[in-house]
Amino acid sequence: MEQQYILAMDQGTTSSRAIIFDRDRNIISIAQKEFTQIFPKPGWVEHDPHEIWSTQAGVTAEATTKAGLNGKNIAAIGITNQRETIVVWEKESGKPVYNAIVWQDKRTADYCDELRQSGKHKMIQEKTGLILDPYFSATKIKWILDNVEGAREKATNGELICGTIDTWLVWNLTRGDVHITDVTNASRSLLFNIHTMDWDAELLDLFKIPATMLPQVKESSEIYGESRTTIFAHKVKIAGIAGDQQAALFGQQCIEKGMVKNTYGTGCFMLMNIGDKPIMSKNNLLTTVAWKINGKTEYALEGSIFIGGALVQWLRDNLNVINRSADVEQLALSEKDNGGVTFIPTFAGLGAPYWNARAQGTLFGLTRATTNGHIARASLEAISLQTRDVLKAMEADSGIPIKELRVDGGATANNLLMQIQANVLNSQVVRPKITETTALGAAYLAGLAVGFWKNEEEISKFWAQDRVFEPEKEQEEQTRQIIKQWTKGIKALQFWTEN
């Protein structure tokens, strides 16, 4: 029998990737392609659904060819995706009626304010575990139905369907044969009741979304169907799905209650495994489904930071102070401190634990002596300090002091960022040997469903640390000053937004 592999499709906010893993979770092949970010108006963010599919199909074919494989060698496909981003398309033709509206998009902020003023936010949080915010999918679907000519009529007639990006990929992989999502993506929609584990009729009625549009909700690890595209010479089972942050939690093997990971991608997302019962946050965090495997649901507390690695891209593309994202570390090291600069990078509003959709990016403390190095250092501190705010809220909600933070994502290669993170948290920051934990989590979920790996116990033995960053005692005073500046800056920004 030919050796078998698992293919992970990792469809992110700025790029589509495909990674092939062997049984010992070595990366055999990887391919990646960025796609267009569309900004029609300030605060609006869109993607072309066709480009998402074509780039994902393209990198999948590239990774498979590079590895010299065909469909026969691939035991299963696992999918992980940018969450909350929504596509609405015609059931018969498969043609989207509008661009994908991205999780960062803020066009429904006024509508969210109206719902909040009418007191609906409490009922929404009780059922979904989510804070009412433009971030989530339901208000985006409603916007498309209300603003695209003929869309609401078609939806009422059962002619339109919708889904998050996992749903869109599976639909295209199976040529319209399978319309499903998994519990993790469903739990980010504002339409899914995390207690009954099903779409909620009262929420569908509130957002005026016909139930016929929605995909069937499946577990995170089961066989959903087989590929019917020309990417592979043979049919391949599609067997694992999780939203990117839940996939990273599983890839990091945070499978015990109280374990925490933070992913540094376009945004930063911290999740804590809270076990098999949902805890409703009193500190503006989200309660979300971590995964469902073999009939058992696990939950997580989550803090979402909208701008993380995207801040480094902004320094590169908008300010042109670096040529490559990786150059930010050396630029930040050119100065011994931030020179009094505090950067609050709220380009897409403030996420957890503040939830201010109208907050805009702000630089405090600029003088004639300010250099690009100061701004670069303040940028890395901003990523770390946003993470600290979330971690403190998580400790308060769970009653568990967090002594170790497992980290993953592209920005974890930046040693200075990881050291600053350890300093401001005053706890260990642990980087694993494999930082591709999002794709790995999707691979694990798919592999478990088809028996590629026997059980979770076998998988847990794979996790290995690369480096542990300890808080630096000699930096304590500087760290205290950074935190103090940040707290002042947040208060000033909130005041600016309100007035």
User: Please, what are the domains in the chain?
Assistant: 5-245 (3.30.420.40)
Contact by Cβ (8 Å): 129, 280: yes
Closest among 91, 105, 97 to 37, alpha carbons compared: 105
**389 among annotated binding-site residues:** no
**309 among annotated binding-site residues:** yes
Count of CB atoms within 10 A of residue 134's CB? 24
- Kindly state the average pLDDT of the residues 361-370: 93
- Kindly state the average pLDDT of the residues 80-108: 95
**414 among annotated binding-site residues:** yes
Residue at token pair 């065909």: 70
**428 among annotated binding-site residues:** no
Cα dihedral across residues 284, 285, 286, 289: positive or negative:
negative
Q: How far apart are the first and last CA of the chain?
A: 68
Question: In this predicted model, which residue has the larger pLDDT, 474 or 2?
Answer: 474
- Kindly state the average pLDDT of the residues 28-54: 94
Task: Return the structure tokens found at 487.
Answer: 């707290």
Contact by Cβ (8 Å): 29, 19: yes
- Kindly state the average pLDDT of the residues 67-77: 88
Contact by Cβ (8 Å): 104, 306: yes
pLDDT of residue 494: 86
Q: What is the DSSP letter of 180?
A: E
Whether 1 has a pLDDT exceeding 50, the answer reads: no
Contact by Cβ (8 Å): 94, 74: no
Window from 354-363, 416-425, 448-457 with minimum mean pLDDT: 354-363
**11 among annotated binding-site residues:** no
Cα dihedral across residues 419, 425, 428, 430: positive or negative:
negative
d(CA 188, CA 406): 23
The set of residues, in sequence order, having a beta carbon less than 8 Å from that of 453 and lying 6+ positions away, is 23, 444, 447, 459
d(CA 433, CA 466): 4
Closest among 347, 280, 323 to 102, alpha carbons compared: 347
Using a pLDDT cut of 90, give the percent of the chain over it.
Answer: 70
Contact by Cβ (8 Å): 396, 360: no
pLDDT of residue 222: 95
d(CA 4, CA 24): 11
**15 among annotated binding-site residues:** yes
**167 among annotated binding-site residues:** no
pLDDT tens-place string over residues 444-477 = 999 999 999 988 888 888 888 899 999 998 888 9
pLDDT of residue 499: 62
**83 among annotated binding-site residues:** yes
Q: Is 163 helix (H, G, I), strand (E, B) or coil?
A: strand
Contact by Cβ (8 Å): 66, 29: yes
Share in percent of the chain as helix, strand, coil (round to 5): 40, 25, 35
pLDDT tens-place string over residues 212-252 = 999 999 999 999 999 988 788 788 999 999 999 999 999 98
- Provide the total of helices (H) and of strands (E) in the chain, helices listed first: 16, 23
pLDDT of residue 370: 95
**281 among annotated binding-site residues:** no
The angle that helices 137-147 and 109-117 make with each other, rounded to 10 degrees, is: 110
Whether 266 has a pLDDT exceeding 60, the answer reads: yes
**153 among annotated binding-site residues:** no
Contact by Cβ (8 Å): 424, 388: yes
Residue 265 — pLDDT band, cuts 50, 70, 90? Answer: confident
d(CA 193, CA 366): 47
**4 among annotated binding-site residues:** no
**410 among annotated binding-site residues:** yes
pLDDT of residue 305: 86
